Amino acid sequence: MPATSTTKRVTLKEVAARAGVSIPAVSAVLGGASTTVRIPDVTEERIREAAEALGYIRRARKTTSATRPSAVKFKSFETPKRTNLRVVVIGSCDPTLSEYSQSTNPWDHDIVGGVEAALARRGGVRMRFLNRRRIGKPPMALSEVLSMVQNEAADAIVVIDMDLCEIVSMQVPELEATGLPFVIVSAGPLGSPAANVCYDNKAAGYQAAMHLISEGHRELTYLAPIVADWTELRLAGAREAVRVSGLPEAAIRTVPTDRPELAPARDWVESKSHFDASVAAALADINAGFRHCAVIAMNDETALGYLYAAEMSGLRAFEDFALVGFDDIVEARMRGISTLRAPREEMGREAAFLLHEVCTAGIKRAAKRICLQSDLVVRASSTNFKRHRL
């Protein structure tokens, strides 16, 4: 129903709560608030449906020279001024299977595929993929890979690095020293100015918590065996959803309470997998008598660990508790775990489009950031909960 002088105007916050997304996402779709946020089509449709159902009316805005246009979605990779562009894509695709999983980490694989697909459609581009990952050894240092890039006579570089953002940010000067246009794809926003495509972890945490709250849960557990930039952003998003929903801060608790922090300077070697660490943390908390009605796991590997621990403790999967993870790995689909799926292929495509802009416009140090949000994939793990539903 259209708003009148006597009708309360529907707010962006209410639309966000109904759609289960962040307020900035709603603002980007309905208000054209940002040029750097890319919203997946499925999420955009859900936002518009929520707005229509609530009767949302966009406030009129004055058009000034400072008004920013709505987000533009690139439809094609246009022919740049340069032909026969030689692009080197640097990533860390793991050729081995992990202890807990029968599939490899999807992040780099899917992003690389998105980059290559977008470049291949263009024609006149020669691509070369350099893998930093080595079996049984730490990944190659970027300096080592860049020395290989010189032998490739490259014209441009795409770096895909899902490491801690603090580490990735420190690599920007090294890339600038090559004198080549470059784009970095990272797990979160970088602190250094660079052409950057990243993932909105905070919005993903908000979506996860808002989904569980909309299912009737009023007590949430955030399971994160480690402290890293992306785990804390997801936790911050979940806390924001709790606050927006009018619940007390204590409505969400973190397990375990003594989480070790991943040092930015560490070698990429961990004593425990996320799966093993989450099993140990969940078992300790369950044995201490804590009841978990709704669990947000920091990723799908952790969600699988919680599921294993819960079943070991005699809990019935998805009936005694609800569970949401992140990443949408194959095992999460097989076990029916609800998850937040990052638009990994789209991140790769956006990196290719941004690289085109950098090459054609000569933007070598543009602090342009494209931050994409995830899609909520709802499965049995968050909808079959019955015993403690409020």
185-196: per-residue pLDDT in tens?
998 899 888 999
Contact 351, 357 (CB under 8 A): no
pLDDT at 253: 95
What pLDDT is attached to residue 33? 47
By DSSP bridging, strand 252-255 and strand 196-199 are unpaired
Confidence band for 213, pLDDT divided at 50, 70 and 90: very high
pLDDT tens digits, 30-76: 865 444 556 666 677 778 888 877 877 765 443 333 222 223 333 33
Inform me whether the pLDDT recorded for 90 exceeds 80. Answer: yes
Query: Residues 301, 274: contact at Cβ < 8 Å?
Result: yes
CA 367/CA 183 separation, integer angstroms: 10
Task: Assign 227 to helix, strand or coil.
Answer: strand
Mean pLDDT of 254-274: 66
Residue type at 239?
Answer: R
Residues near 62 by beta carbon (within 8 Å), at least 6 away in sequence:
none
Mean pLDDT of the chain: 80
Of the pLDDT bands very low, low, confident and very high (cuts 50, 70, 90), residue 307 is very high
pLDDT confidence tier of residue 352, bands split at 50, 70 and 90: very high
Cα–Cα distance between 156 and 124 in angstroms, integer?
14
Please say whether the beta carbons of 13 and 23 come within 8 A.
yes
Q: DSSP H helical segments within 9-55, as ranges? A: 12-19, 23-31, 41-54
Which of 39-48, 184-193, 293-302, 353-362 holds the top average pLDDT?
A: 293-302
Asked if pLDDT for residue 82 goes beyond 80, the answer is: no
Residue at token pair 């040092």: 263
DSSP state of 288: T
Find the mean pLDDT for residues 329-348: 93
What is the side-by-side strand order in the sheet with 196-199?
37-38, 369-372, 196-199, 182-186, 156-161, 85-91, 125-131
Q: Would the CA dihedral through 157, 162, 164, 165 be positive or negative?
A: positive
Q: How many CB atoms lie within 10 A of CB 215?
A: 18
Asked whether residue 212 carries a pLDDT value surpassing 70, the answer given is yes
pLDDT band at 151 (very low <50, low <70, confident <90, very high): confident
The full set of domains in the chain, from first to last, is 12-54 (no CATH), 85-200+342-374 (3.40.50.2300), 201-341+377-382 (3.40.50.2300)
Residue 79: pLDDT band (50, 70, 90) is: very low
Q: Please give the model's pTM, rounded to 2 decimal places.
A: 0.76
The CA distance from 6 to 326, in Å, is 42
SS3 (DSSP) at 13: helix
β partners of residue 199: 372
Helix pair angle (274-287, 300-312), 10° resolution: 40
